[in-house]
Structure 1
Amino acid sequence: MMRELHTRFGRDNLGFLWIIGEPILFCTGVAIVWSLIRPLHEHGLPTTAIVITGYVPLTMWRHSVARSVLAFEANGSLLFHRQVIPLDIILARIILEVIGTLWAGLIVGGGAVILGFMNPPENYGLLLLGLSYQIAFCFGCALVIAPLSERSELVEKSLGVLMYLSLPASGAFIMVDWIPEHYRWILLLSPSVESIEMIRAGQFGYIAHAHYNFFYATWINFFIIFVGISLTLRAKKYIHIQ
């Protein structure tokens, strides 16, 4: 993790603080723009809080997936050490992204609470549980994408487009309760939607009318992580060290 910080941010200027600074800039910018162009409340919920509770977990996912692409090739020299395996590389990158995004969300959300744009969470336990499920989802996606990007150039090149196309299914800017009932099951297939619904239920309480299923969220994230670990443990023979 220390090596990753040094190679990515260096020691000049803010250095390691950019691991928090980057998500802060993203989250703050999006929250300000949405608060200016949208009504103060949508479906009875404050717009600023909707954006922050959606964009923070979305940023965590996007950054985690982006940092997993060709992660083994970029750190391939470490694999000459017998103690280091591909799983260590992914763990180091995802832990850093998660820590940075969580701190950014805490700072941006805390600032919004102090300025009166949102209230403190109604249920901290449920909010933290939702964040835990989102972290598991980010970890699973990274474990899947990292080895696949080593095997196929198509995965590497098309991932950016696929991530943008998947935004409507992320649950970041809408809630399941806002769409017609007979279409909700489609959105609830997304693990990210399950996580963000829990986060918003923790933030807003019962007025959010959140939809989530603990059983589904648990087994789908477990399945993704299981597949990702299986692919990662077999990735070493596909890694090309420059």
Structure 2
Amino acid sequence: MSQIDFVAQKPRSFRTLRTLMALILREMSTTFGRTAFGYLWAILQPVAGIILLTAIFSIALRKPDLGTSFALFYATGLLPFLAFLDISGKVALSIEFSRSLLSFPAVSYLDALLGRLILNTLTQIMVFGLVISATVFIYDQSVAVNYPKIIFAWFLLTLLSAGVGTFNCYMFLRFPEWERIYSVIRRPLLIISCVFYLYEVVPPPYSDYLWFNPLIHIVGMIRSSIFFNYDAAYVSPLYVICFSALPLLIGMTFLHKNSRDLLYR
């Protein structure tokens, strides 16, 4: 690349960064600025779920499948699951959310996707860190966090959310009935994503079928990065990457070809 080409491309990159920041700030003010509590609602939702699960299962069971704290066990499963639903759901509605802005040449569908992906991923990471830290402190748990592994697990979670969200972004616009179909498909996910139990307690052949759910690999990796005595040998990062790449590639390809047409349907 010549120096002239580099200089010519630099303003475009700067405009893209400014567009992304503007979309992120708009998302923050729209999503979290409508209520008095703002970001607090993003934290209260998973906390309420963890408290409810802890209360119910601590009555029926003497101890969780892993560790000694029901709250920490369910937090390490429920938080990644809710993060996937939130991030992928927000990405899926990116174009619809920013439809009025996409009429401007400076704003592309990719800006809308990235803006929502970045903001909501950072929000969910903040929620995860705060809730896990509070749970460890309140219940006086001894943990040895494997930070490289947990960072990699969040990378996989972000990639999966981006893939599913981008695919659904196209499908929701092209086939409006797909939104209802997908809402039905995702209902059993809470049960089959190893939120309430460990993968190892599921007997074959059901465990063989369960293995193909990419969320169990992410939940397993996060739990193994927090519970030092948990190995999660079944986890396959390569499978999660391949599973995520397919819908991401399909969604990006069709959005690239049809995004402008879909805006005016």
User: What TM-score bracket applies, with the shorter chain setting the length?
Assistant: 0.7 to 0.9
Letter in 2 for 1:29: A
Cα offset for 1:113?
Answer: 1.0
Cα offset for 1:176?
Answer: 1.2
Which of 44, 47, 64 is 1:42 aligned to? Answer: 64
Percentage identity across paired residues of the two chains: 20
Q: Which structure: larger Rg?
A: 2
CA contact (8 A) 1:176 1:210 kept: no
1:154-169 correspondence to structure 2 within 5 Å = 154-169=177-192
1:194 aligns with 2:210: no
1:22 aligns with 2:46: no
- Identify the residue that residue 219 of structure 1 maps to in structure 2: 242
TM-score, L = length of structure 1 = 0.88
- Identify the residue that residue 254 of structure 2 maps to in structure 1: 231
- Identify the residue that residue 30 of structure 2 maps to in structure 1: 7
Q: Distance in 2 between matches of 1:207 and 1:13?
A: 41
Distance 1:79 1:102, change over 3 A: same
String of CA shifts for 1:150-198, please: whole Å, max 9, x gaps. 0112112333333223222333222211101432221121121111111
- Identify the residue that residue 120 of structure 2 maps to in structure 1: 97
Cα offset for 1:90?
Answer: 1.5
Cα offset for 1:240?
Answer: 3.0
Mind listing any 5+ residue stretches in structure 2 that lack a counterpart? 1-23
- CA RMSD in angstroms, aligned pairs only: 2.2
Out of 103-112 and 63-72, give the one that drifted further: 63-72
1:134 aligns with 2:152: no
Q: Distance in 2 between matches of 1:211 and 1:118?
A: 25
Mind listing any 5+ residue stretches in structure 1 that lack a counterpart? none
Q: Distance in 1 between matches of 2:219 and 2:32?
A: 30
CA contact (8 A) 1:73 1:240 kept: no
Number of positions where the alignment pairs a residue of Structure 1 with one of Structure 2:
237
TM-score, L = length of structure 2 = 0.81
Cα offset for 1:13?
Answer: 3.0
Cα offset for 1:217?
Answer: 2.2
Cα offset for 1:7?
Answer: 2.6
Residue 160 of structure 1 aligns to a residue whose secondary structure is: helix
Distance 1:11 1:238, change over 3 A: closer
Distance 1:32 1:187, change over 3 A: same
Distance 1:117 1:227, change over 3 A: farther
Q: Distance in 1 between matches of 2:140 and 2:200?
A: 22
Which of 112, 119, 129 is 1:106 aligned to? Answer: 129
